[in-house]
Amino acid sequence: MTIKQQAAFKVKSFDPETGCFEGYANTFDFKDHAWDITQKGAFITSLEEHKKAGTMPKMFWHHKRDEPIGVWTEMYEDEHGLYAKGRLVLEVTKAKEAHALMKAGALGGLSIGYRVVREMWNNETDANELHEVKLDEVSVVTMACNEESKITAVKSCFEQDELPTERQMEKALRELGLSRKQAKSFLVDGYKSFTATNDTLVVALPTKTTELNNTVDTKAVEELLHLLKSVNGKQ
């Protein structure tokens, strides 16, 4: 299972006395940095399942599953997106930090962690439409676009001794600055060869580096390659 993360949206209101806050955790028809567009209704089934089970998505600090900082008290879809109301548990140390940062205006973003149930690529919009997702958590985050989260889905796979899917790899590469054509070329000449033979990737990847455009995050690409090569010992 891979938990995916999406670009953050701002907290709409915050009560410094109680630690209660609310805002949009996600909006519809917005193309995020991973070329995902959430469709209206994508969260309905998951929210109904939570309601039946008497649960709510978790509230984490920057998607860190070992750092819960509060509880979500209400969550629903409206015409604009996924709206969430929650409360920081101020007895928790990290929640106290979040509370202080919110009061200072240094922290004020919400970002979702989810699993894809149904998605479809739209060639006209050059985006991946999310039609249904399982909502696992909504995190309080600092920034709307955390550079460190660019290859989170890929990292998550490796941490669980799994290989990321080609779709996950393509998204990670596009987030790092490659065009869709470049990312697909990478998968054909590099990644598919790697899944067949462990040593092919090291030879195949450098031939593509000269085709990268000027907006590529080279440091993040190097990290991604390092993660891929690290799988050698797990095959």
pLDDT value at 235 more than 50: no
Which residue among 131, 149, 167 closes a domain? Answer: 149
Number of domains in the chain: 2
Range of the domain at 25: 4-149
Task: State the average pLDDT over residues 166-187.
Answer: 69
Instruction: Provide the Cα torsion 131, 134, 140, 141; round to 10°.
Output: -60
Which residue among 149, 182, 214 closes a domain? Answer: 149
In terms of domains, do 84 and 117 share one? Answer: yes
- 87 φ/ψ angles, rounded to the nearest 5 degrees: -145, 130
Which residue among 101, 116, 149 closes a domain? Answer: 149
User: 42-53 b/e with 16+ CB inside 10 Å = b?
Assistant: bbeebbeebeee
In terms of domains, do 126 and 185 share one? Answer: no
In terms of domains, do 95 and 193 share one? Answer: no
Tens digits of per-residue pLDDT, 27-72?
A: 898 887 778 899 999 999 999 999 999 999 999 998 899 999 999 9
In terms of domains, do 131 and 176 share one? Answer: no
In terms of domains, do 106 and 176 share one? Answer: no
Task: List the end-to-end C-alpha distance of the chain, in Å, as a whole number.
Answer: 18
Confidence of residue 6 (pLDDT cuts 50, 70, 90): low
In terms of domains, do 104 and 77 share one? Answer: yes
In terms of domains, do 104 and 52 share one? Answer: yes
In terms of domains, do 43 and 105 share one? Answer: yes
Tens digits of per-residue pLDDT, 181-216?
A: 777 777 776 655 444 444 333 333 333 333 344 444
Look up the pTM and report it: 0.64
In terms of domains, do 98 and 186 share one? Answer: no
pLDDT value at position 203? 30
Residue type, 43: F
In terms of domains, do 69 and 174 share one? Answer: no
Tens digits of per-residue pLDDT, 112-129?
A: 888 999 999 999 988 899
In terms of domains, do 47 and 163 share one? Answer: no
> Distance (Å, rounded) from C-alpha 119 to C-alpha 38?
9
In terms of domains, do 10 and 97 share one? Answer: yes
